[in-house]
Amino acid sequence: MPSKKNQAQVKNVEFYKSFHQSNVKERWSKQAIEKLFDLPFNDLLFQAHTIHRQNFDANTVQLSTLLSIKTGGCSEDCGYCPQSARYSTEVENTPILNIDEVIKSAQSAKAAGATRFCMGAAWRGPKQRDLDLVKQMVREVKALGLEACATLGMLKEGQAEELKEAGLDYYNHNLDTSPEYYGDVISTRTYKDRLDTLDRVRAADIHVCCGGIVGMGESRSGRVGLIHQLANMEHPPESVPINLLTQVEGTPLMGTEELDHFEFVRTIAIARITMPQSFVRLSAGRESMDDGIQSLAFFAGANSIFYGEELLTTGNPNTEKDQSLFKRLGIKSN
């Protein structure tokens, strides 16, 4: 009998094929994206930077701060995540933060220069009592003059509308990887589950924040498949976080061969070319990159970062280091 992972993989690929045959009008074919990946590095970056300048101020980066409002104890089996209850990591299952703690963190983020405050919870999906508390948090964040973003897992019918009514600006729900590779990483929710939540967010008129993680052992075709999915959404995400896997002891993906940072920058550049009007966020994994690689990523079209010393449960460059790099590069933040 096929393993649970293999069963999930087959189910995801079958859905992907039927979905594309019936619904998707391709703006970008896989072959076109493959050709971008095959370009000489300088040619690719020149093309990406040209497109970036046509749509954005090339010397401005948007700053978001991410706070874990509910850490650990998640029932999902995402192979990269130390918050899964299935893995033995140093992340403890803790209760949801109270409103005062969230307000204090949001105030600190604003004082440090962030314009968007993102709240993440380690849930498969929020229960109504959890959602009611998150809605209060959203209102308090908005009252500070910040944009509000949340990532709470899968949403049921009506929940996105409740978040919209509370004032939520962005909802993050990543595809993580291509449909073909997805079953190697996750078996407890399907690709269709993810797309259903994104459809609910879009229908509620909330901005979509959706990207993925590279360096999880996928081939280049897996990165092609991720970009193919994102770029061919009916409305591409307003925000596209590109994460580099941060390996955590105790998770199944610990020990995965590390992705070449130049390949990561290629992925940033291709996200910019294929989604020219989206914010492309240089997200998790920045702590492993030197200033030169991050600078190349900004040149390639990244114009958003997570700002602050921690991303949910993993490290991130501190604000002073980021500001120093911005000063050396002549980059403004907003």
Nearest to 279 by CA among 6, 103, 55: 55
Residue pointed to by tokens 């702590």: 287
Q: Is 210 known to be catalytic?
A: no
> What is the distance between the alpha carbons of residues 26 and 53, in angstroms, rounded to a whole number?
25
Q: Do residues 305 and 113 touch, judged by C-beta distance below 8 A? A: no
Q: Catalytic one among 78, 200, 210, 272?
A: 78
Nearest to 33 by CA among 220, 277, 239: 220
Q: Is 189 known to be catalytic?
A: no
Q: Catalytic one among 189, 209, 223, 286?
A: 209
- In one letter, which amino acid is 27? R
- In one letter, which amino acid is 111? A
Q: Is 281 known to be catalytic?
A: yes
Q: Is 74 known to be catalytic?
A: yes
Q: Is 149 known to be catalytic?
A: yes
What does DSSP assign to residue 13?
Answer: H
Q: Do residues 28 and 228 touch, judged by C-beta distance below 8 A? A: yes
> What is the distance between the alpha carbons of residues 67 and 118, in angstroms, rounded to a whole number?
6
Q: Catalytic one among 200, 202, 281, 286?
A: 281
Q: Catalytic one among 81, 194, 210, 223?
A: 81
Strand partners, 84: 74
Q: Is the dihedral of CA 277, 240, 129, 98 positive or negative?
A: negative
Kindly list the distances between the CA atom of residue 252 and the CA atoms of 79, 91, 96, 255, 272, in Å, as whole numbers in the listed order. Answer: 5, 15, 26, 8, 30
Residue pointed to by tokens 């291709």: 270
Strand partners, 244: 214
Nearest to 178 by CA among 12, 31, 6, 26: 12
Spacing of C-alpha 199 from chain mean position: 17
CB neighbour list of residue 276: distance below 8 Å, 6 or more residues apart = 51, 52, 54, 55
Kindly list the distances between the CA atom of residue 251 and the CA atoms of 79, 175, 177, 285, 288, in Å, as whole numbers in the listed order. Answer: 6, 19, 17, 16, 18
Q: Catalytic one among 116, 149, 189, 200?
A: 149
Annotated active-site positions, please? 74, 78, 81, 118, 149, 209, 281
